[in-house]
């Protein structure tokens, strides 16, 4: 049998069958296609298998498919920990393989096709298969109302687009599969630009059908009965479809995929203008600072979240805790997310001075806005909501969180949290990596209410896949690249600068300083920084942003730093009774960059079976 005909189980078997399930439409089970697709109840059961939540494997659930699906692999590390933004507490695959660009064939398979974990490639092509069969068989549906049919079609086009988009950012351009039956699935790959563009077209089709179905948002508007209480709020809406269309076009326009220069950015800008204006028309709004964290925990959804997934009493709540590194994760097997000082420096002073570089900090110091020996004072309020540091407080901590060394006692003092004694600090660089202790001096707080024991799945963790804050910062990026900082789109009467300032204003931050808004190039850096801060540690945005901007060669090769702290006698020089020292984290936790790290490959065992589908370069 020739190589060409040994078609991969991934692109053949997975695209021509669903799974050993009632919904396989298996004649041997006495179930025909007509029975499945002719009634609304059975048709919806078939399509909704995309959202099925299996307690062990979770191969299908589209909400977890991106971004959390690949993070829920049993290896338990978040992909953001493979960037310069964070370190993973446990010294496992995140640092030992992914962060240095040397993944084994086993690791490659685990995240793409393995049947034992949560294979991303397999899952997304199965989603595509279900979506295509649903679209193709819509004519057999006999007892559905027009709105129900439109909702099914809109949801199917959205799922198909979403799966292709998610595959493309992780693995690069894909064949765009728009049918369920072919003689040969060994298809040539499109460019990433082509893949994103086709996904955008499908997202727009989804929008048109969902609008026809009366599903521009799944719940009622604010002030109307049923607001934030609909049973299907975790499903995409017309507003979601427009937002994802814009996101696809932004990725197509970004440096890693751009084919048409500024014209690509114009397409993305106008798409985001329509998405933002439509979301505002349908009543979505930015939550005030006091409710900001509702977007991440404690609520099933908010009026800022266009599309989200709440992990309350649902599979993988405990894995979510370990992955996101709630500070108690070091008691268990979670790898954790421990922000680096490099990322902490992205949080400006409260009066708007950047702190990204030594030169930036010197300016802020000269203005009396920043003190290296009192570094957590006078900062962007999102800093305290996102980063757990020495001196942090939470409703469940008695006093403050201690991550400092006491030289007089020769110990790292413990912290009392939820009536339990816990250690947050430890000897610099000495952690053996078997627990999720921080090696940077920081832990992640954004998705954590501050209590010990949040690994309990009864508590709500909200994963905001699309929210209004993201629409504003993405709109600003695309408008700035297409037209400039003080321009706007046809659909949305907001300039790029105004969009960023709206996001800053809701957390009581001042407008971007005027010296950064005079040109496209100057404003670009502040837009990117604002995006990093506003979307910090959400949805693996940072992992993909540094790739689509093609700045990973710089960010991934910089020295990754943490903050070492010792107690001392309070003085004018040390007002907190602490000495703060920036230190490089251990060599084993530093990053590197090789250009093949833009995209994840298939394992050789599958790639070798294909001729037309060209694999990405091995990470070795």
Average the pLDDT over 76-87 and give the result: 87
CB within 8 Å of 529: residues ≥ 6 apart: 346, 348, 354, 356
CB atoms within 10 A of CB 591: 22
More confident residue, 68 or 432: 432
Alpha-helical regions (H) of 438-519: 468-482, 496-505
Residue 395 pLDDT > 60, yes or no?
A: yes
Residue 265 tokens, joined: 């950015």
What is the Cα–Cα distance from 100 to 84, expressed in whole angstroms?
A: 11
DSSP output for 187-208: PPPPPHHHHHHHHHHHHHHHHH
**388-406 b/e (C-beta count within 10 Å ≥ 16 → b):** bbbbbebebbeeebbbbbe
Residue 14 pLDDT > 50, yes or no?
A: no
pLDDT per position as a tens digit, 194-229: 999 999 999 999 999 999 999 999 999 999 999 999
**What secondary structure letter does DSSP report for 366?**
H
Average the pLDDT over 377-385 and give the result: 98
User: Which candidate, 112, 107, 108, places its Cα nearest to that of 122?
Assistant: 112
Residue 486 tokens, joined: 């003080």
Q: Are 322 and 336 in contact (CB under 8 A)?
A: yes
What rounded mean pLDDT belongs to the chain? 87
User: Angle at Cα 162 formed by Cα 159 and Cα 167, nearest 5°?
Assistant: 125
Average the pLDDT over 518-546 and give the result: 96
pLDDT at 65: 42
SS3 for 153?
A: helix
Distance (Å) of CA 171 to CA 70, 189, 224, 596, 597: 12, 11, 43, 11, 10
pLDDT at 115: 65
Residue 512 pLDDT > 80, yes or no?
A: yes
SS3 for 334?
A: coil
pLDDT at 75: 55
Confidence of residue 66 (pLDDT cuts 50, 70, 90): very low
pLDDT at 29: 45
Confidence of residue 53 (pLDDT cuts 50, 70, 90): low
Identify the sign of the CA torsion 400, 403, 404, 410.
positive
pLDDT at 426: 87
What is the Cα–Cα distance from 531 to 394, expressed in whole angstroms?
A: 26
Residue 487 pLDDT > 80, yes or no?
A: yes
**120-136 b/e (C-beta count within 10 Å ≥ 16 → b):** bbbbbbbbbbbbbbbbe
DSSP output for 248-283: HHHHHHSTTT-SSTHHHHHHHHHHHHHHHHHHHHTT
What is the Cα–Cα distance from 216 to 219, expressed in whole angstroms?
A: 9
Confidence of residue 76 (pLDDT cuts 50, 70, 90): low
What is the Cα–Cα distance from 297 to 464, expressed in whole angstroms?
A: 10
pLDDT at 330: 46
Average the pLDDT over 389-407 and give the result: 95
DSSP output for 394-455: -TTEES-----BBTTTTB---EEETTEEE----STT---SSS---SSS-EE-TT--S-TTTT
Strands 415-417 and 305-310: unpaired
More confident residue, 371 or 4: 371
Average the pLDDT over 456-472 and give the result: 83
pLDDT at 320: 53
CB atoms within 10 A of CB 537: 25
Let me know how long the chain is.
620
Confidence of residue 312 (pLDDT cuts 50, 70, 90): low
What is the Cα–Cα distance from 571 to 584, expressed in whole angstroms?
A: 26
What is the Cα–Cα distance from 451 to 327, expressed in whole angstroms?
A: 9
Confidence of residue 433 (pLDDT cuts 50, 70, 90): low
Residue 73 pLDDT > 60, yes or no?
A: no
Residue 62 tokens, joined: 């589209």
- Which range, of 192-206, 335-349, 455-469, averages the lowest pLDDT? 455-469
- Prior bond to 68 cis, omega within 30? no
Q: Are 308 and 520 in contact (CB under 8 A)?
A: no
More confident residue, 33 or 378: 378
pLDDT at 16: 41
pLDDT at 447: 82
Q: Are 266 and 427 in contact (CB under 8 A)?
A: no
More confident residue, 426 or 528: 528
- Which range, of 351-355, 388-392, 606-610, averages the lowest pLDDT? 606-610
Alpha-helical regions (H) of 331-396: 341-344, 358-366, 381-386
pLDDT at 55: 43
What is the Cα–Cα distance from 327 to 381, expressed in whole angstroms?
A: 20
Confidence of residue 17 (pLDDT cuts 50, 70, 90): very low
What is the Cα–Cα distance from 314 to 228, expressed in whole angstroms?
A: 19
What is the Cα–Cα distance from 351 to 198, expressed in whole angstroms?
A: 43
Beta bridge partners of 411: 406
What is the Cα–Cα distance from 463 to 302, expressed in whole angstroms?
A: 11
pLDDT at 313: 46
pLDDT per position as a tens digit, 271-304: 999 999 999 999 999 999 999 999 998 898 999 9
Tell me the longest C-alpha to C-alpha distance in the chain.
82
Q: For tokens 């570094």, what's the residue?
A: 375
Residue 427 tokens, joined: 């000897």
pLDDT at 32: 81
pLDDT per position as a tens digit, 101-133: 999 999 898 888 876 656 788 888 888 999 999
Q: Which H or E run includes 40?
A: helix 40-47
Residue 326 tokens, joined: 């709630």
Whether the model pTM is above 0.85: yes
More confident residue, 591 or 321: 591
CB within 8 Å of 167: residues ≥ 6 apart: 120, 121, 124, 125, 174, 195
Q: Are 143 and 129 in contact (CB under 8 A)?
A: no
pLDDT per position as a tens digit, 576-592: 999 999 999 999 999 99
Q: Are 14 and 122 in contact (CB under 8 A)?
A: yes
What are the backbone angles phi and psi of residue 420, rounded to the nearest 5°? Answer: -125, 145
What is the Cα–Cα distance from 276 to 285, expressed in whole angstroms?
A: 10
DSSP output for 44-84: HHHHGGGG---SS---S-HHHIIIIIHHTSTT---GGGGST
Q: Which H or E run includes 317?
A: helix 317-324
Q: What percent of the chain has pLDDT over 70?
A: 84
pLDDT per position as a tens digit, 164-192: 999 999 999 999 999 987 656 688 999 99
Residue 388 pLDDT > 60, yes or no?
A: yes
């Amino acid at each position: 049998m020739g190589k060409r005909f040994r078609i991969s189980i991934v692109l053949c078997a997975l695209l021509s069958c669903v799974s050993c399930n009632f919904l396989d439409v298996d004649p041997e089970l006495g179930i025909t296609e007509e029975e499945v697709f002719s009634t609304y109840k059975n048709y919806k059961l078939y399509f909704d298998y995309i959202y099925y939540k299996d307690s062990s494997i979770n191969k299908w659930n589209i909400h977890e498919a991106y971004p959390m699906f690949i993070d829920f692999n049993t290896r338990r590390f978040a992909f953001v920990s493979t960037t310069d933004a964070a370190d993973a507490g446990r010294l496992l695959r995140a640092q030992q393989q992914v962060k240095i660009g040397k993944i084994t064939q086993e690791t490659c398979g685990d995240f793409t096709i393995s049947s034992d974990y949560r294979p991303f490639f397999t899952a997304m092509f199965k989603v595509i298969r279900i979506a295509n069969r649903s679209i193709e068989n819509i004519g057999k549906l006999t007892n559905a109302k027009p709105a129900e049919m439109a909702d099914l079609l809109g949801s199917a086009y959205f799922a198909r687009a979403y799966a292709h988009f998610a595959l493309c950012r992780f693995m690069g351009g894909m064949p765009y599969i728009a049918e369920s039956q072919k003689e040969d699935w060994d298809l040539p790959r499109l460019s990433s630009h082509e893949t994103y563009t086709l996904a955008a077209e499908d997202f727009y089709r989804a929008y048109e059908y969902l609008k026809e179905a009366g599903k521009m948002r799944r719940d009622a508007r604010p002030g109307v009965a049923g607001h934030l209480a609909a049973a299907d709020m975790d499903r995409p809406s017309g507003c979601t479809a427009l937002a994802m269309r814009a996101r696809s076009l932004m990725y197509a326009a970004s440096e890693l995929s751009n084919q048409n220069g500024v014209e690509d950015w114009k397409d993305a800008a106008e798409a985001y203008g329509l998405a933002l204006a439509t979301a505002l028309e349908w009543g979505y709004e930015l939550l005030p600072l006091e409710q900001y964290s509702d977007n991440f925990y404690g609520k099933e959804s908010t009026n800022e979240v266009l599309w989200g997934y709440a992990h309350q009493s649902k599979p993988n709540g405990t894995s979510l805790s370990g992955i996101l590194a709630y500070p108690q994760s070091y008691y268990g097997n979670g790898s954790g997310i421990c922000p680096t000082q490099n990322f902490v420096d992205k949080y400006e002073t409260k009066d708007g001075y950047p702190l990204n570089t030594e030169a930036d900090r010197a300016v802020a110091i000269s203005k009396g806005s920043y003190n290296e020996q009192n570094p957590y004072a006078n900062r962007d309020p999102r800093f305290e909501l996102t980063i757990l540091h020495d001196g942090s407080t939470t409703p469940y901590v008695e006093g403050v969180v201690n991550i400092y060394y006491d030289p007089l006692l020769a110990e790292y003092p413990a912290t009392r949290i939820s009536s339990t004694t816990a250690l947050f600090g430890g000897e610099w660089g000495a952690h053996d990596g078997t627990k999720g202790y921080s090696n940077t001096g920081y832990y992640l707080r954004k998705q954590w209410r501050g209590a010990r024991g949040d690994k309990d799945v009864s508590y709500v963790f909200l994963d905001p896949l699309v929210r209004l804050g993201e629409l504003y910062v993405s709109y600003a990026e695309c408008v700035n690249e297409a037209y400039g900082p003080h321009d706007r789109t046809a659909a949305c009467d907001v300039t790029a600068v105004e969009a960023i300032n709206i996001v800053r204003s809701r957390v009581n931050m001042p407008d971007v300083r005027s010296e950064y808004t005079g040109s496209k190039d100057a404003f670009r850096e502040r837009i990117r920084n604002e995006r990093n801060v506003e979307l910090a540690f959400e949805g693996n945005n940072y992992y993909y942003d540094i790739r689509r901007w093609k700045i990973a060669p710089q960010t991934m090769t910089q020295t990754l730093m943490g903050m070492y702290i010792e107690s001392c006698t309070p003085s004018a020089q040390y007002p907190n009774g602490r000495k703060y020292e920036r230190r490089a984290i251990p060599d084993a936790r530093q990053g590197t960059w090789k250009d093949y790290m833009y995209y994840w490959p298939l394992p050789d065992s599958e790639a070798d079976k294909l001729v037309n589908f060209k694999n990405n370069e091995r990470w070795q």
